[in-house]
Amino acid sequence: MKIVLLGPPGAGKGTQAKSICNRLSIPHISTGDIFRKHISENTSLGIEAKKSIDKGQLVSDELTIRIVLERLKNEDCKSGFLLDGFPRTVVQANALDSFLETEGQKLDTTLLIDVPKDFIIERMSGRRVCLTCGASYHIKFNPPIFEGKCDICGSDIIQRKDDEEKTVRERLDIYNQQTEPLIKYYRDKGILAVIDGTQAINDVFKNICKVLGRDN
């Protein structure tokens, strides 16, 4: 299946992406994770992306589209993939559609994880992430088994620099202006499914599986 995950910062895209990709055996492509990996390795792409990310602003469409399309050309994406955090602008959505069209493919569904703004600041302030494998934790809602360590790969988990309240508010503004129009974009194409993201992590996952027809 070819899936796009849409939703505001802190909606739970990364959290759900891990479970969906395990269930469907498809690769998880998170632009945020790709950028953070480049930043931690100090590559030229990472240095460029960091300027925008630290301010809570979007990385340029040109750079983002280039890395995603390169990733989608990999053999492991031929039978399906899950995009988490891409597209985030109408320009990116158009670029994805054109790419898939030339490959004779199309998206199966867009899952919008819907969470009101009030939930988001609390989720972000308690979030801890693993830079090695991309797993997300929450000190209250989803703590790791061993404090400070990733359950999956054992690396240290850290607080993201862009999770301070001021930057989160900037990210929310940008989401409203640039990414929210994609809800209509995909609804008009008839491939939008809205998931209530305010429930517990497992319940959100059950609803997603129902929508995907994989709730067995």
Closer Cβ to ligand AP5, 15 or 26, answer by number: 15
Q: Which of 141, 149, 169, 191 binds ligand AP5 (CB under 6 A)?
A: 141
- Dmax (CA) for the chain in angstroms is 47
**Residue 48 near residue 63, CB atoms below 8 Å:** yes
Residue span binding Mg ion (CB under 5 A) among the ranges 8-16, 38-46, 88-96, 124-132: 8-16
Q: Phi and psi at residue 67, in whole multiples of 5°? A: -70, -35
Tally of CB atoms within 10 A around 8: 23
C-alpha distances in angstroms, 95 versus 98, 101, 173, 205, 206?
A: 5, 10, 23, 29, 31
* Residue 134 interacts with ligand AP5 (CB under 6 A): yes or no: no
Residue 96: HSE in the Cβ half-sphere, 13 Å Cα cutoff: 27
Please state the closest distance from residue 20 (CB atom) to ligand AP5, in A: 12
User: What is the per-residue burial (b if ≥16 Cβ within 10 Å, else e) of 108-146?
Assistant: ebbbbbebeeeebeebbbbbbbbbeebbbbbeeebebee
Site string for Mg ion, 10-49 (x = CB under 5 A): ----x-----------------------------------
Please state the closest distance from residue 12 (CB atom) to ligand AP5, in A: 3
Site string for Zn ion, 2-21 (x = CB under 5 A): --------------------
| Near ligand AP5 in 31-90, by CB under 6 A | 31-32, 35, 52-53, 56-59, 64, 85-86, 88
Binding site for ligand AP5 (CB under 6 A): 7, 9-15, 31-32, 35, 52-53, 56-59, 64, 85-86, 88, 92, 123, 126-127, 136-138, 141-142, 162, 171, 197, 199-201, 204
